[in-house]
């Protein structure tokens, strides 16, 4: 071919209609149809592989889970990169929303090269497997699992024993530090390929507001909650000092993190016996009542299902009972962290839980089933809208039901013989606050730390110091022994190696009280908010089902309005619920220091 002919051919190709035509809405819709079908199929394979790995941890299942995760993440990232060509055209709102969700399809977007995609998948599985197999060996013959230590934290009042377990569990996480650093690096590469500054920006992009607005929203909600938390913190600190002595607790206004009945100090319900009002006698012990009634693990789940069916919702499918892992197997390693699954989006609902017969797991069952009923509620939605309005909604739904597990409800289902009088309300509210209110600063700080890691404001050489700076600022806690950068204490919390976003739990605690207040008002309840139970109210069930059926198809303020009549998240419902307790705590704290040096 002559030079002139070659030039003519090149120019013809460059200006051909196929090359020159701008993408159209029809092109974008066709692309999205293919993307949803592809990711739906890959997601199904990944969920089956992940279920096998989570319920039977061996090399083979870890390999299969990593491979399936890599395939899904790589394809999602590839499609998201290809989708950027449609950023230049105006799309209908629902289609534009799907393109955003395509970019948010995975928490750790795959980098562009195949080698790094495999490395990221391997790192993610290694981190979760290392956490799940972690043990604290006091002697070569006596090794404690996390479950063993969590059980001991419920009842042990020996500060030396608590300190040994607290330190021992944190020996599993230092090897995670370089792997976690690499996860952040690879994830950031993938996020930048999608047009985000980093993974922190990507994670905050799914809330129908800018990442900066979302961070400000969390801070606004925290300021609504902080006075109640500070009152609770001061009261608990004083009562722990009464038990363990000021030499153990200290005089700096902070609480040693190992004394609160929980491995991470994130909930304080297990020390209720140490901080309960003087001369108070609990009206009932739900753990003992469950055991006295002979309730087994499946029975615990049946109670949870019964609450949802009382609202007019269909029962769980038969396959739920056949395929769920409700009891911890004795013959293999599993991921015991409770979770709810929708494997095939065809009523293949499951929970994975090493259920124990106690009050905590009774509440957890209701929470996890909330996920399952929500999953079934939006199953008719297209692929990218099969989710909650924002991820806080998903976490909140089951906990809204759990708030309705009042003494009146427990009597209705035969777990207690009579409803205690109002004279015991402060005790019940204190017990609830030790779980719900105490959790909120922890729910906030986990992702504040992680966002700092992703955006580089927390470099690897300050991973541990930054973690404890946030714990001090928000929780008012301190490590019981000196910590250094040889430690990696964030890795001792599942959601860090598991790469699971955590702000959703903070939002869920706000939303559940907001949902609860609105649903109680709809049910006609007129007494103190904390006494409301809407068990058996079909109108409440219909309102919940209508909200769940929306899935993620509309911005979350629309879904919030459907359930509550409000379009803004509002923590005042928490203040209303705990108002009698706040008055009592302030009386108890007279003359005491409230707050701590941040």
Q: Which residues are catalytic?
A: 337-338, 367-368, 371, 395, 495, 505
Burial code (b: 16+ CB inside 10 Å, e: under 16) for 534-555 equals bbebeebbebbbebbbbbbbbb
Q: Return the SS3 of 479.
A: coil
For residue 397, what are the CA distances in angstroms to 371, 383, 392, 519, 549?
A: 7, 21, 9, 12, 13
For residue 471, what are the CA distances in angstroms to 150, 369, 419, 449, 583?
A: 20, 31, 38, 10, 26
CB 203 within 8 A of CB 451: yes
How do the residues of the chain divide into helix, strand and coil, expressed in percent and rounded to 5?
65, 5, 30
For residue 586, what are the CA distances in angstroms to 232, 251, 272, 575, 593?
A: 9, 20, 18, 14, 11
- Residue 228 CA, chain-centre distance (Å), reads 22
Q: Tokens 């913190």 sit at which residue?
A: 233
CB 120 within 8 A of CB 109: no
3-state secondary structure 63-98: HHHHHHHHHHHHHHHHHHHHHHHHHHCCCCHHHHHH
Tell me how far apart the terminal alpha carbons of the chain are, to the nearest angstrom.
76
Q: Return the SS3 of 238.
A: helix
Q: Burial of 5 by CB count in 10 Å (0-12 exposed, 13-18 middle, 19+ buried)? A: exposed
Q: Burial of 117 by CB count in 10 Å (0-12 exposed, 13-18 middle, 19+ buried)? A: buried
- Residue 300 CA, chain-centre distance (Å), reads 21
Q: Tokens 């159209």 sit at which residue?
A: 24
Q: Which residues are registered as beta bridge partners of 278?
A: none
CB 277 within 8 A of CB 425: no
CB 512 within 8 A of CB 440: no
Q: What tokens were used for 537?
A: 């109210």
Q: Which residues does 511 contact at the CB level (< 8 Å), separation at least 6? A: 392, 393, 395, 396, 400, 560, 569
Degrees to nearest 5, angle at CA 552 with 548 and 556: 85
Distance (Å, whole) CA 402 – CA 503? 20
Distance (Å, whole) CA 257 – CA 493? 14
- Residue 565 CA, chain-centre distance (Å), reads 25
Q: Tokens 């890691």 sit at which residue?
A: 453
How does DSSP classify residue 417? S
For residue 577, what are the CA distances in angstroms to 67, 234, 428, 531?
A: 47, 20, 12, 9
Q: What tokens were used for 582?
A: 């706040």
């Amino acid at each position: 071919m002559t030079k002139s002919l070659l030039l003519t051919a090149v120019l013809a190709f460059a200006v051909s209609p196929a090359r020159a035509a701008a993408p159209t809405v029809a092109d974008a819709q066709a692309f999205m149809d293919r993307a949803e079908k592809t990711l739906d199929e890959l997601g199904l394979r990944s969920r089956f592989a992940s279920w096998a790995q989570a319920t039977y941890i061996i090399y083979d299942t870890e390999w299969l889970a990593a491979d399936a995760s890599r395939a899904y993440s790589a394809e999602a990232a590839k499609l998201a990169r290809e989708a950027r060509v449609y950023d230049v055209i105006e799309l209908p709102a629902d289609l534009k929303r799907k393109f955003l969700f395509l970019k948010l399809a995975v928490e750790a977007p795959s980098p562009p090269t195949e080698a790094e995609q495999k490395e990221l998948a391997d790192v993610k599985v290694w981190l979760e497997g290392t956490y799940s197999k972690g043990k604290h060996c006091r002697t070569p013959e006596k090794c404690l699992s996390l479950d063993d230590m969590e059980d001991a934290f419920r009842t042990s009042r020996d500060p030396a024993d608590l300190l040994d377990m607290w330190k021992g569990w944190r020996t599993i996480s230092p090897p995670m530090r370089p792997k976690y650093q690499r996860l952040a690096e690879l994830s950031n590469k993938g996020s930048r390929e999608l047009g985000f500054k980093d993974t922190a920006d990507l994670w905050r992009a799914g809330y129908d507001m800018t990442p900066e607005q979302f961070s400000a929203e969390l801070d606004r909600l925290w300021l609504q909650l902080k006075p109640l938390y500070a009152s609770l913190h001061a009261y608990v600190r004083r009562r722990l000092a009464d038990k363990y002595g000021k030499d153990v607790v200290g005089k700096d206004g902070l609480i040693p993190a190992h004394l609160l009945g929980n491995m991470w100090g994130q909930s304080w319900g297990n020390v209720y016996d140490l901080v309960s009002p003087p001369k108070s006698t609990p009206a009932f012990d739900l753990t003992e009542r469950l055991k006295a009634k002979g309730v087994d693990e499946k029975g615990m789940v049946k109670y949870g299902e019964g609450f949802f069916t009382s609202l007019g919702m269909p029962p769980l499918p038969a396959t739920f009972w056949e395929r769920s892992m409700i009891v911890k197997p004795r013959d293999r390693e599993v991921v015991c962290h409770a979770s709810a699954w929708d494997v095939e989006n065809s009523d293949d609902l499951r929970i994975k839980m090493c259920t124990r017969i106690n009050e905590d797991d009774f509440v957890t069952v209701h929470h996890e089933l909330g996920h399952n009923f929500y999953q079934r509620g939006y199953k008719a939605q297209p692929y990218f809208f099969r989710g909650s309005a924002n991820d806080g909604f998903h976490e909140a739904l089951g906990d809204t039901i759990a708030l309705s597990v009042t003494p009146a409800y427990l009597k209705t289902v035969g777990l207690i013989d009579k409803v205690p009088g109002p004279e015991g309300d402060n005790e019940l509210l204190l017990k609830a606050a030790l779980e719900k209110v105490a959790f909120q600063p922890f729910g906030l700080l986990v992702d504040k730390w992680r966002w700092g890691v992703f955006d580089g404001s927390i470099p690897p050489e300050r991973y541990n110091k930054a973690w404890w700076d946030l714990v001090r600022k928000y929780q008012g806690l301190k490590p019981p022994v000196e910590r250094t950068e040889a430690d990696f204490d964030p890795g001792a919390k599942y959601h860090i190696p598991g790469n699971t976003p955590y702000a959703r739990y903070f939002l869920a605690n706000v939303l559940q009280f907001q949902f609860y207040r609105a649903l109680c008002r709809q049910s006609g309840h007129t007494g103190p908010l904390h006494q409301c139970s809407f068990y058996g109210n079909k109108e409440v069930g219909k309102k919940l089902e209508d909200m769940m059926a929306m899935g993620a198809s509309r911005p979350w303020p629309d879904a919030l309005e459907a359930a509550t009549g409000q379009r803004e998240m509002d923590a005042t419902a928490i203040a209303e619920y705990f108002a009698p307790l706040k008055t009592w705590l302030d009386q108890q704290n007279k003359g005491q220091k409230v707050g701590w040096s941040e």
